[in-house]
């Protein structure tokens, strides 16, 4: 058991004090959008996010397809808005432990608020981080560089407050001695807050498919095989490296391959479905790479290009016109050469299906999405249903997509199935409207 788990075991249960109209679980773009819509309608919202900042995956992206707008520029104002809205109470670094339906439109929820070991006086100056001597992989950069055990999640985190990762702390006290406002407090204790809410909205999003499982691709073993999420980080304004460079030695890549459908449409990995966003985010990244590295070759290995949305086909054609090469063929395996380059073996469908190989110096696995729906386990008494692949099941996909198997519990965004940001925001708006209708119907 880790140090933090030992401390969390001693959480202090608080008496039930407050009630809200809606509990929104998950502070990605879906949860933020729905919370803001509901709060603007006058409903009192409790938004619970498990990470130390809101923002979800969108904040971490470079630009968004097909408009190529800056992702963090769009998401930061929303992140700030949820923390300032008078009708929204935000608990970050918190976990929902239990949701129990007592009667119609009456749910009791228990929420674990974890200690950050840093008081709210923290000004986010980052001095604790500078002096902390322990370096561990930074989650928000998917391990591409390090962070300290005392750290601020990222520059525009909401809230922009430091926290101490006790599982990696060596208890040297440097952070505490350095903090100019005396905000570090190792004696903070976890608390369990009990609340009553009238409706619940699940917006816990997705996780990346665990592509280590496809051992033929060597992810985790070959340094220059990265995921598309890592590539989006490399292309973002808040990027972990000073340029797009390969992790094995910091060289600027000259030949980059994308392997589409990594972990999607793959029965051997028990994930037969299309992740819906990988074709377009790969086309986006290809265009951005050709801008960042004009001399580099970009090759996309694909089964089919699914460019189904507004402006997507044009976006795909634009990438081709810019010089991205599209090779129809499934990649069977990847090998590493002595100088950290990678050999891709693939079925060359347009040349009679023969087995071909090509060498690249950086490979991006366009990894699919998997549901982040473990939240179903906190429901007591009634079952929040999932489909056979683990996505939350809609009450009726055609006419009631955002209602779930429990009346009064709604869902929005990628927890219902893979989708892009515009569809996620639309669904969040729809869910907010349905929650409002439900609350008005059941009355106070």
Ligand X SMILES: Cc1cc2nc3c(=O)[nH]c(=O)nc-3n(C[C@H](O)[C@H](O)[C@H](O)COP(=O)(O)OP(=O)(O)OC[C@H]3O[C@@H](n4cnc5c(N)ncnc54)[C@H](O)[C@@H]3O)c2cc1C
Interface positions with ligand X (CB under 6 A): 25-31, 48-51, 56-58, 61, 64-65, 95-96, 203-206, 228-229, 232, 277, 281, 284, 372, 375, 413-414, 419-422, 424
Which of ligand X, another protein, none lies near 163, with the C-beta cut-off 5 to 8 A by kind?
none
Q: Which is nearer to ligand X, 57 or 138 (CB)?
A: 57
Among another protein, ligand X, none, what binds residue 16 when CB lies within 5 to 8 Å by partner kind?
A: none
- Using the contact rule CB under 8 A, the part of the chain among 92-100, 162-170, 199-207, 348-356 near another protein is 162-170
Q: Binding to another protein by residue 252, rule CB under 8 A? A: yes
Residue 110 or residue 360: which is nearer to another protein going by CB? 360
56 contacts which partner out of ligand X, another protein, none, CB within 5 to 8 A by kind?
ligand X
Name residue 48's beta-bridge partners: 25, 91
Q: First and final CA of the chain: distance in angstroms?
A: 44
State how far the Cα of 49 lies from the Cα of 27, in Å rounded to an integer. 5
In sequence order, what DSSP letters do the residues of 309-378 get, joined into one string? STTHHHHHHHHHHHT-EEEES-EEEEEE-TTS-EEEEEEEGGGTTEEEEEEESEEEEEE-EEE--GGGGG
Q: DSSP state, 16? A: P
Q: How many of the chain's residues bind another protein (CB under 8 A)?
A: 41
Tell me, what DSSP letter sits at residue 14? P
Is the CB of 1 or the CB of 444 nearer to another protein?
Answer: 1
| Crossing angle (nearest 10°) for helices 278-292 and 312-322 | 40
Binding another protein by CB under 8 A: which of 81, 144, 322, 442?
A: 144
127 binds another protein (CB under 8 A): no
Helix 71-84 with 29-40: angle, nearest 10 deg:
40
* Binding partner of residue 48 among ligand X, another protein, none, CB cut-off 5 to 8 Å per kind: ligand X
User: Does 176 contact another protein by CB under 8 A?
Assistant: yes
- Alpha-carbon separation of residue 221 from 14, 133, 144, 212, 245 (angstroms): 46, 27, 14, 9, 18
Report the interface residues with another protein, using CB under 8 A. 3, 6-7, 129-130, 133-136, 144-147, 149, 168-173, 176-177, 182, 184-187, 223, 240-243, 245, 247-254
């Amino acid at each position: 058991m880790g140090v933090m788990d030992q401390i969390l075991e001693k959480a202090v249960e608080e008496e039930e004090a407050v009630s809200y109209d809606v509990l929104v679980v998950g502070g990605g773009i879906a949860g933020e959008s729905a919370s803001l819509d509901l709060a603007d309608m006058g409903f009192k919202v409790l938004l619970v996010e498990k990470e130390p900042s809101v923002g979800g995956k969108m904040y971490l992206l470079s630009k968004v397809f097909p408009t190529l707008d800056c992702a963090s520029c769009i998401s930061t104002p929303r992140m700030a808005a949820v923390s300032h809205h008078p009708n929204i109470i935000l608990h970050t670094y918190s976990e929902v432990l239990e949701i129990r339906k007592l009667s119609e439109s009456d749910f009791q929820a228990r929420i674990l608020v974890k200690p950050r070991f840093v008081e709210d006086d923290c000004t986010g100056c980052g001095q604790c981080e500078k002096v902390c001597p322990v370096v561990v992989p930074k989650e928000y950069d998917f391990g591409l560089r390090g962070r300290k055990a005392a750290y601020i999640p990222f520059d525009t985190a909401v809230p922009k407050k430091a926290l101490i990762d006790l599982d990696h702390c060596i208890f040297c006290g440097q952070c505490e001695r350095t903090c100019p406002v005396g905000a570090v407090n190792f004696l903070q204790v976890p608390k369990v807050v009990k609340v009553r809410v009238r409706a619940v909205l699940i917006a816990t999003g997705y996780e990346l498919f665990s592509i280590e499982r496809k051992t033929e691709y060597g992810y985790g073993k070959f340094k220059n095989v990265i995921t598309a999420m890592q590539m989006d980080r490399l292309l973002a304004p808040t990027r972990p490296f000073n340029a797009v460079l390969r992790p094995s030695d910091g060289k600027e890549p000259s030949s980059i391959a994308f392997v589409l459908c990594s972990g999607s449409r793959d029965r051997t990995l028990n994930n037969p479905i299309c992740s819906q966003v990988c074709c377009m985010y790969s086309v986006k990244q290809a265009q951005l790479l050709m801008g960042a590295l004009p001399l580099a070759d970009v090759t996309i290995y694909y089964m089919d290009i699914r460019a189904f949305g507004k402006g997507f086909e044009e976006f795909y054609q634009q990438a081709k016109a810019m010089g991205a090469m599209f090779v129809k063929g499934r990649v069977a395996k990847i090998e590493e050469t002595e100088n950290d380059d990678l050999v891709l073996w693939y079925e060359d469908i347009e040349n009679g299906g023969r087995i071909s190989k090509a060498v690249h110096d950086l490979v991006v696995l366009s990894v699919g999405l998997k549901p982040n729906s473990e939240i179903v386990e906190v429901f007591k008494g009634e079952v929040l249903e999932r489909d056979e692949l683990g996505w939350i099941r809609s009450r009726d996909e055609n006419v009631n997509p955002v209602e779930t198997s429990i009346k009064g519990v709604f869902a929005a965004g990628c927890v219902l199935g893979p989708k892009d940001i515009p569809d996620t925001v639309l669904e969040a708006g729809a869910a907010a409207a349905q929650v409002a209708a439900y609350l008005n119907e059941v009355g106070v």
